[in-house]
Amino acid sequence: MLVLVTGDRQVGKTRWLERLVEACERQGMTCKGVVCPGVWQPDECGGLAKVGIEALLLPEHENIPFACKRGLSPEAPAPSHQADAAKLVWQIYDEAIERINKQFDDIASQGLGKRDLLVVDEIGVLELVFGKGFASALALLDAPVCKAGPDQADGCCADAHAAVIVRPELIEDAKKRFAPAWGDPCVVDIASADTRQGIESLVSVFLA
């Protein structure tokens, strides 16, 4: 089952995905992939401003620096050639992309089991438009590798489950691209960072 998580910018898609991961792990599932939570600092108006992004590698729960907001400092802390070429707002570190792609390569070599959840935060312009970024995650979503083997009847990977964040403007492209491997996805449109909508029911489906 493929779950596409979408919603407006900074509405709480990553936080929702973190809660899904937590709920799955409580039930004994193994979450594999990456979640990219923001790094926040107080702003001049008394609120919080997103100034960076970290990458949480799963299942190890290892944190690595992932990106900084363009223009916050004269130079990025690390090279970000892919993001620069795509003119992204975030300077995504090339080294982080390489490390995350290795993570997905390792997942592909192991295969996905019935109690595994593939987690990708996120598939965006860099991947779907430029063919860069999390290329190994994209390859695994295009052709999921399952320990039990694919369901030959319909071409889907019967035992695989995945949750992927996709921006609203890319959701139709993602649905069309991944449908041959996964069938029709479940689309979760996040309305609020406080919501836990659909999490428990999804976990039940994963475990069925």
Tell me the C-alpha to C-alpha distance, in Å, between residue 193 and each of 9, 28, 52, 165, 190: 11, 25, 18, 14, 8
* d(C-alpha 83, C-alpha 79), whole Å: 9
Q: Where are the domains of the chain?
A: 2-207
∠18-167-97 over CA atoms, to 5°? 65
- CATH match of 2-207 with 3.40.50.300: yes
Q: What is the pLDDT along the chain (208 residues), one digit of tens a residue?
A: 999 999 998 899 999 999 999 999 999 999 999 999 999 888 888 888 898 999 999 999 999 999 998 877 656 578 889 999 999 989 999 999 999 999 999 999 999 998 999 999 999 999 999 999 999 999 999 999 887 655 534 445 677 899 999 999 999 999 999 999 999 999 999 986 566 778 999 999 999 9
Residues in the chain: 208
